Chains A and B, each alone.
Chain A
Amino acid sequence: MSSKPWIWTERIGRWILGVIFLYAAITKILDPAGFAADISHYALLPNSMVNATAVILPWIEAIVGLAMLAGFAADGATLFVSLILFLFLAALGQAFVRGLDINCGCFGHTDAKEGLLVPIVRDTILLALAAWIFLQRIKWAGAGVKS
């Protein structure tokens, strides 16, 4: 599965994830206090780590998003995207199971009640895409295919 259509599928998938991560990062960078409040609503991190996470995580997402778009350090960027989406999904899942009435905060702080089901479905699809891209890249690297 290393023919040209699949290489283009991987490339377009990576660009889609890159744009989504970059957009999500910018919305959070513009409102770190709002993102910090969203993080604290999940009740997962110790209070002392909430602000630092709200400051740092969006910039990592931005750098990773750019890397996905540019194809620079794309293996590491895809691995990060897969792992972070898995963590986001776990955080959303536990909040959903616990019945927390919170917003996802995935694309910045919002007052509109969006629920958690849509973000869970969206994250699952994106995680599947990211994991597929990462596994394809490993496979192609092993076969000496340039992606």
Chain B
Amino acid sequence: MIRKSFLQMLGLIVMGTVIGLVYNTISPQSIPLRGGQEARLEQQGARTIDLKEVRYYLEQPGVVLIDARSPEEFSLGHIPRAVNLPDDQFVQFFPKLKDGLVKADLIIIYCSGGSCGTSEDLALKLLKKGIGESRIAVFSGGLPAWMKAKLPIERSKDN
């Protein structure tokens, strides 16, 4: 009975895998199978950048740096020049930043680094709003990479 159950389960897994792979090739919502966040962002018209690129771009005009973390985290410390657009309070914060984002030559988004994920979510939301196509970059290292390089941190109570 246990052996039969395992064999049936394997059969269902194989069936689901095959259908999933086939569906992903024909679906309009298909995502790249290989890779993770970078591949998805690239497909949507955004990209990931590292600390060196962030430092370079922050010296250029027309660059908007977005901190996608919560206002509480933002007030405790953020990268200088960053504005706060919390991913989970997008609707409330977006209107007051919209004009600046539309005009920006490059929008860089960061969160708590690693797999915090909110940068990617925010990038996808901005792209869905028609903002920043090919002009959005996610700083994958985020605040931890910035702090590890002993770069200055700004503290504030608001934007």
Contacts and interface: CB of A to CB of B under 8 A. Distances in A.
Interface stretch (A6-14, A45-53, A86-94, A123-131): A45-53
Contacts of B34: 48, 51-52
B159 interface: no
Given A47-B115, A51-B33, A102-B117, A80 B1 contact: no
Q: How large is the interface on B (under 10, 10 to 19, 20 to 34, 35 or more residues)?
A: 35 or more
Nearest to A56: B20
Interface string A111-138: 1010000000000000000000010011
Q: Mostly helix, strand, loop or mixed at chain B's interface?
A: helix
A51 B39 contact: yes
Nearest to A61: B16
B12 A56 contact: no
A104 interface: no
Contacts of B23: 29, 55, 59
B24 A55 contact: yes
A73 interface: yes
Contacts of B2: 138
Interface string A65-93: 00100000101111110010000000000
Interface string B3-42: 0111111111101110111011001011111111111100
Contacts of B37: 37, 40, 47, 50
Nearest to B22: A59
Contacts, number: 132
B1 A142 contact: yes
Interface residues of A, number: 46
B4 A32 contact: no
B21 A41 contact: no
A75 B124 contact: no
A75 B154 CA distance: 58
Contact of A31 (B5, B17, B29, B35): B29
A108 to B, nearest CB: 12
Interface of A: 29-33, 36-37, 40-43, 47-52, 54-64, 67, 73, 75-80, 83, 101-102, 111, 113, 134, 137-138, 141-142
